[in-house]
Amino acid sequence: MAKILPFKAVRPTRDKVSLLAARSYDSYTPAQVESRLRDNPFSFLHIVNPGYKYQKEISGELRYSLVRNRYQEFKEEGIFMQEENQSFYIYKIVNRDGLEFNGIVAAASVADYENDIIKKHEDTLEFREVVFKEYLKTVGFNAEAVLLTYPDNKELEVIIDFVMQSRPEYEFTTTYRDTHYLWNVDDETILKKIQNIFSEMPALYIADGHHRSASSYLLAKDLENDNPNHNGSELYNYFMSYLIPESDLKIYEFNRLVKDLNGLQKDEFLIRLDAYFRIENRGMEYYKPSKKHHFSMYLDGEFYSLYLRKNNYEIKNALDALDTQILFETVLKPILGIEDLRNDQRIEYAHGKKDLAYVKTAVDSGNFAVGFGLLPVTTEELKKIADEGLRMPPKSTYIEPKLRSGVTVYEF
């Protein structure tokens, strides 16, 4: 059964939160990072990019120790404060598209991750797990929550609605036009009620943050081995998570762009595709698939619809039925020669918020030869993959909400 704990978050003061909160570092362009570091002394980016102070690129162990130093400076300067009581945090996001996400920031159990109560649907890269584990070990905090999802629960919905009747501790809108609200909950009765509800859930599912959760698991094992008095209650046995109901989860597709046709001429490529798909030329019509196992393709100035010939493709499990896997097994690997979806430089990915106009422009520019459009993975598919112990191909899902770093910090 799932175990979550309240914790004493380190968080920015109310007057600084809008200045401090930052998107994931990788989501900024270099120019955006530079402008924020230059113009906003309170940005969390100053913590994760400590070399800016010295106008120097710094990496490895030295960078980790400087991140720790910069974080301590923010605490010493009163930009961060420590919660007095163990708390859960009700966190609401209303994004620029009007979508609303309501969830709970809590500490999730490493033991649940190890025992598959917290279920995974995506493979991780070992070197990334190890690098981030070493980073966490040095800095001693986690500032970006793992996104977990749980089955819709009426009792939790009532509790969250009740808490949100009061004034939020934070209410701020970002330059990205998302509005964030946070309420801290330290009432013992409510805390126990929330914990009991989660304790009755057989499983939670990772929506976003597979590498972060894997790294937290590795860190806990390291620190357990280093601690002769380990008893299981230490803070390193948990990691910060943001838990939202399944109905709040928003999943977008990742479309595929390929730089060449693997030495094939256009007509040869189409003939090879015909073995697996019923193909229709849609001309300049922006064709977007509306059913599973249907795909959009943009090639040489024209759109095509591709409908899977099911008699030529065998579905044995939940992974086989996934459109990203079907495209890999029928097109990307056998025809275009792309076997390593993570590292092959001939393929790139564009999440569905960029739509098919982005795919068309990318191909028309000459940088790519062909683009493929897919339907989003559903929450049910995600759960079924995880339940069967399978793993999706990389870049199968682009999931919202996207949390800001530094709004709550979990120290261990």
Full-model pTM: 0.92
CA distance 375 to 97: 19
Strand, helix or coil for residue 42: coil
Same domain, 164 and 15: yes
DSSP character at residue 177: S
Question: Residue 159 — φ and ψ, nearest 5°?
Answer: -60, -45
- In 3D space, the residue among 56, 77, 58 whose CA is nearest the CA of residue 67 turns out to be 58
Cis previous bond, 401, omega within 30: yes
Tell me if 188 is assigned to some domain.
Answer: yes
Strand, helix or coil for residue 85: coil
Tokens standing for residue 91:
């966190």
Tell me if 393 is assigned to some domain.
Answer: no
H/E run at residue 309: none
Give me the mean pLDDT over the 367-381 stretch. Answer: 97
- In 3D space, the residue among 409, 410, 407, 352 whose CA is nearest the CA of residue 93 turns out to be 407
Confidence band of 273 (pLDDT split at 50, 70, 90): very high
What's the domain range around 75?
4-251+400-411
H/E run at residue 312: none
Tell me if 328 is assigned to some domain.
Answer: yes
Same domain, 171 and 219: yes
The radius of gyration of the chain from alpha carbons, rounded to an integer in Å, stands at 23
Window from 153-167, 236-250, 257-271, 348-362 with minimum mean pLDDT: 348-362
Tokens standing for residue 394:
């990389």
User: Which residues, in sequence order, are CB contacts of 223 under 8 Å at separation 6+?
Assistant: 137, 230, 234, 236, 412
Confidence band of 231 (pLDDT split at 50, 70, 90): very high
Question: Residue 149 — φ and ψ, nearest 5°?
Answer: -125, 150
User: Which residues, in sequence order, are CB contacts of 361 under 8 Å at separation 6+?
Assistant: none
Same domain, 124 and 245: yes
CATH number of the domain enclosing 260? 3.30.1760
Only one residue has tokens 């009700």, namely 90
Number of domains in the chain: 2
Predicted local confidence at residue 204, as pLDDT: 98
- The chain-wide mean pLDDT, for the chain, equals 96
pLDDT digits 0-9 by tens, 15-64: 999 999 999 888 899 999 999 999 999 999 999 999 888 888 888 999 99
Tell me if 382 is assigned to some domain.
Answer: no
Q: Are 322 and 229 in contact (CB under 8 A)?
A: no
Same domain, 228 and 246: yes
C-alpha angle 227-229-234 in degrees, rounded to nearest 5: 75
Strand, helix or coil for residue 165: coil
- In 3D space, the residue among 248, 251, 245 whose CA is nearest the CA of residue 201 turns out to be 245
